Amino acid sequence: MMALERLVGKLDRLSPLSPEDKSALMALPLEIERVPRRKRLVREGEIPDRCCLLFAGYACRSKLGSNGARQIVSFHIPGDILDIQHILLPRADHDVQTITEAEVAWIRRAELIRLSKDHPAIGHALWRDSLIDASIFREWVMNVGRRDARSRIAHMLCEFTARCEAIGLGNADMFDLPMTQEEIGDATGLTSVHVNRTLKTLEHQGAIRRSGRSVLITDGRLLRSIGDFDASYLHQAA
Amino acid sequence: MMALERLVGKLDRLSPLSPEDKSALMALPLEIERVPRRKRLVREGEIPDRCCLLFAGYACRSKLGSNGARQIVSFHIPGDILDIQHILLPRADHDVQTITEAEVAWIRRAELIRLSKDHPAIGHALWRDSLIDASIFREWVMNVGRRDARSRIAHMLCEFTARCEAIGLGNADMFDLPMTQEEIGDATGLTSVHVNRTLKTLEHQGAIRRSGRSVLITDGRLLRSIGDFDASYLHQAA
DNA sequence: CGACAACTTGACGGGCGTCAACCGGAGTGG
DNA sequence: CCACTCCGGTTGACGCCCGTCAAGTTGTCG
């Protein structure tokens, strides 16, 4: 099963698993679902009894303000657990939705709790995953709080490509952005209009080249410098 | 010992502990330290081998940009574990420092790992604490990304008072802010100048009254409305 | 009473939001 | 095959919120 293999690989990288751990994971009962783009998987306020593993496509988590403003708090790529916090926090404090068409696997909370109790290494891997999640949120606070538009977007591009590369998605410098400029704005605390202007500036300065939604990073060093990007907060090296 | 009792109480609220769990916690070897204000406890890039429990005073976690800009990503009050992520993420991705004079207790990582392995309830409580941490980060992304200065500061005040009340610190509406306006600015992505102006606006609108650094919330409902504050992201109710 | 940190206030400018119009490609139906 | 629609991207004009700079005030600690 494609989905579980991804999960096993990911968790094994987070905290080395024994063969028994792995076979316990492979025995997890799943509900596979193919989801259209822009579909809400979890809604703020719900009490979900299952967690959601993304194994194809892209997704994000977001919060809505009472004035209708939307803030995307994370993007997700294949292999990510979209709402790991629901293992121990019953109430959803934000929405989870797809960006593109996607395939997800639902896993019951109770199963994950049981697994993490019976297999400490799995528990540690899941815990570690949620800690890296939190580290990324911290960096995002920094990003929207203390960087200007150009840096924010450059940083977002760097993070996205770094994470995609880490799972072997796309080659080094050329990739398609799955999200619209409006979604980039919702992630960076900008308007889609200003995202557009800023992308053009980045292109003008020679950091990227674009055609449609595909982006070529022509000068990675420059882009990282503009975005004040240092990948260590991703904690990718075990 | 004051410090451990606080910890036991906090974890017990996060995930009910058995008497054995509690006595295991009470047996934790600690290093108590009294720390002056504005002292850095952990520095980004370090590989700390211990975690830090705050049991008196106030502290914060922050990141520095390459341009010198500082972003505070969380405030901490007595009872908080300041860097729980170091249990499983060796490298510090941000600074931890005191706001006021404080008393902290250092606990070795290895001890916490052992405890969470031998006592699953303790592990769950710690995990749950770090998930709530992450939920607060998400809300902060929303705060700095999608709210104007008035809302940001109102929200910050609401969160701070809600958390203080939850541990029985200060009465309902009158409290002393431990942080300077510059620190409020670093937390909300504003300059100290604009924080000052905005506090005056909040006072002018009748939400708060101030004298020195002590704040009286004269209209909590108004302040929560201005700050778009809904406490459920704090996950305080078990 | 001097020194220093923090707070306060005003003038000015710029980055980004807002509004509005237009363009271009993909899907849809006749 | 072509019109129509719709979504997303693009561009310009204009204005405001908040940053910057700078000076002054208050409070606290020695």
Of the pLDDT bands very low, low, confident and very high (cuts 50, 70, 90), residue A238 is: low
B residues 139..178 contacting A (CB < 8 A): 139-142, 144-147
Q: Is the pLDDT at A224 greater than 80, yes or no?
A: yes
Between the alpha carbon of residue B213 and those of residues B70, B163, B169, B176, B216, the distances in Å are: 22, 18, 16, 6, 10
pLDDT score at B172 = 66
The amino acid at residue A33 is: E
Q: What pLDDT is stored for residue A213 in this prediction?
A: 86
pLDDT tens-place string over residues A177-214: 999 999 999 999 999 999 999 999 999 999 999 988 88
A182 vs B: CB within 8 A? no
CB pair distance less than 8 Å for A128 and B89: yes
Distance (Å) from the alpha carbon of A75 to chain B's nearest alpha carbon: 13
Q: Check whether residue B144 has its CB closer than 7 Å to nucleic acid strand D.
A: no
For residue A159, pLDDT over 80 is answered with yes
Give me the CA B158–C1' C5 separation in Å, rounded: 27
Distance in angstroms, CA of A158 to C1' of C5? 39
What does the mean pLDDT of chain A come to?
95
pLDDT for residue A3 is more than 90: no
Span A76-81, average pLDDT: 96
- Residue A138 has its nearest CB partner, among B63, B65, B117, at B63
Task: Give me the residue from B138, B228, B232 closest to A137, CB to CB.
Answer: B138
CA count, 13 A, side-chain hemisphere, B150: 14
pLDDT digits (tens, 9 = 90+) for B78-103: 999 999 999 999 999 999 999 999 99
Please tell me whether any atom of strand C lies within 7 Å of the Cβ of B197: yes
Quote the percentage of chain B above a pLDDT of 90: 90
> What per-residue confidence (pLDDT) applies to A4?
85
Say if residue B162's pLDDT is above 80: yes
Three-state DSSP at B81 gives strand
Token pair 């800023």 in the structure block, residue: A198
pTM of the model: 0.97
Rounded average pLDDT over A209-231 = 94
Separation of A74 CA and C22 C1' (Å): 33
CA A60 – CA A52 distance, rounded (Å): 12
